[in-house]
Amino acid sequence: MKNNFPNSFAHIRLEAITRNIKKIKERTGGKKILSVVKCDAYRHGAAEVSKHIEEHIDWLAVATVDEGIELRMKGIKKPILIFGVPTYDNAAAYITHNLTATISHVTHFSILMDGTGYHLNFDTGMGRLGFSPEQREEVRTLAVMNQRLVCKGIYSHYATADDPGSDFATLQHKRFKSLLNSFSEVPLVHMSNTGAATNYPEFNHFDMVRTGLGMLGYNSGETRHHWLEHALTWKSVATQVRPIKKGDVVSYSSTWSCPEDGFLATIPVGYGDGIPRSLSNKLYVTIDEKQYPQVGNVTMDYIMVFLGDDKVPVGAEVTLLGGTSWNAYNWAEAAQTNVHEIFTNITPRVDKRYSND
């Protein structure tokens, strides 16, 4: 969908992303950086973000082959790792578009076409994709036998690095380290995500750190790393402002009734744009640096905001997320989810505008 007349826009500061990458690199002792731009860079715009950061990073990664193809179509040159699984359907695309595969199952060795580059994925405790550490010798043998493919790296993924002090993260780290003995000739080793890079600076981060949320200025879990800069601010405008009387009710199911005479603003964004319905009667937004409560149920296309005595003008700028308003941590906490989901919920209805600051 093309946004000729968008109701809201996400303003993304590209240089903030570059600064975050540099800080994460510093914190991990200058390791290589793989930027995770799956799901359209958590809706920050994969191509735009990748283009801007390309010279400061070493690798990119996305979840699906289609996401990789889109980046190549838009002129991205950096190596692109696909986290997802190769199939007979998509195997040729790795060659055509110069994408690096992940081999996480023995069948993948025969599925991929001659000359395809790949990283091995070991499951050290995530319980999602990857070989079990017990398969190390079998996998090593397959890698040696399949010289028609090019082994470029080996990785694993933490399940609990979002919070500091996790014994399980330490255990995963140990498991991964010990299986590396069988793969000493593999040129690139990586395991740390944003959580591991920010919460566990003392860990061995091997050759490269993978960061998605961190480069966008956030981390998941309880600790908040304020040395990261939030890159995105989501704004809309008040499309209608009208008086409201004490006792008047607002929105579907009439969950809110007005406590005192005042003004009500209607903002043209709803759960169809990415505002979780679970934030109904919880969210605060900012107009002219002042916070106002969102009231009544979030609808597909609109939210309503109680202004008290403030009769703000129609067309007034409303900050929904970031800047002087609630940030994505506040949203995630109130919606009982993680910051990743708050961002991936943002739909293509929301226009994206970029600046180089």
Footprint of ligand PLP on this chain (CB under 6 A)?
Answer: 36, 38, 83, 157, 193-195, 210-214, 220
> Which of 100/194 has CB closer to ligand PLP?
194
> Which of 61/287 has CB closer to ligand PLP?
61
Q: How far is the CB of 213 from ligand PLP (least distance, A)?
A: 4
Whole-angstrom distance, CA of residue 154 vs CA of residue 191: 9
H helices within the chain, ranges in order? 14-27, 38-42, 46-53, 65-73, 91-96, 108-111, 136-145, 167-179, 194-199, 328-334, 339-344
Please spell the DSSP secondary structure of 137-196, one letter per residue: HHHHHHHHH-TTSEEEEEE---SSTTSTT-HHHHHHHHHHHHHGGGGTT-S-EE---HHH
Beta bridge partners of 240: 266
Q: Residue 356: count other Cβ atoms within 10 Å of its Cβ.
A: 8
> Which of 39/113 has CB closer to ligand PLP?
39
Q: How far is the CB of 69 from ligand PLP (least distance, A)?
A: 18
* DSSP label of 254: G
Position of minimal CB gap to ligand PLP: 212
Q: How far is the CB of 126 from ligand PLP (least distance, A)?
A: 8
Whole-angstrom distance, CA of residue 247 vs CA of residue 230: 39
Q: How far is the CB of 55 from ligand PLP (least distance, A)?
A: 20
> Which of 58/248 has CB closer to ligand PLP?
58
List C-alpha distances in Å: 200 to 86, 136, 146, 295, 307.
32, 26, 36, 40, 44
Cα Dmax for the chain: 77
Q: How far is the CB of 45 from ligand PLP (least distance, A)?
A: 16
> Which of 38/51 has CB closer to ligand PLP?
38
> Which of 157/173 has CB closer to ligand PLP?
157
- Which residues are annotated as catalytic? 38, 252
HSE (side-chain half, CA atoms, 13 Å) at 164: 12
Q: How far is the CB of 323 from ligand PLP (least distance, A)?
A: 22
| Burial class of residue 139 in the structure, from the number of CB atoms within 10 Å of its CB (0-12 exposed, 13-18 middle, 19+ buried) | buried
Angle among Cα 159, 186, 57 to the nearest 5 degrees reads 65
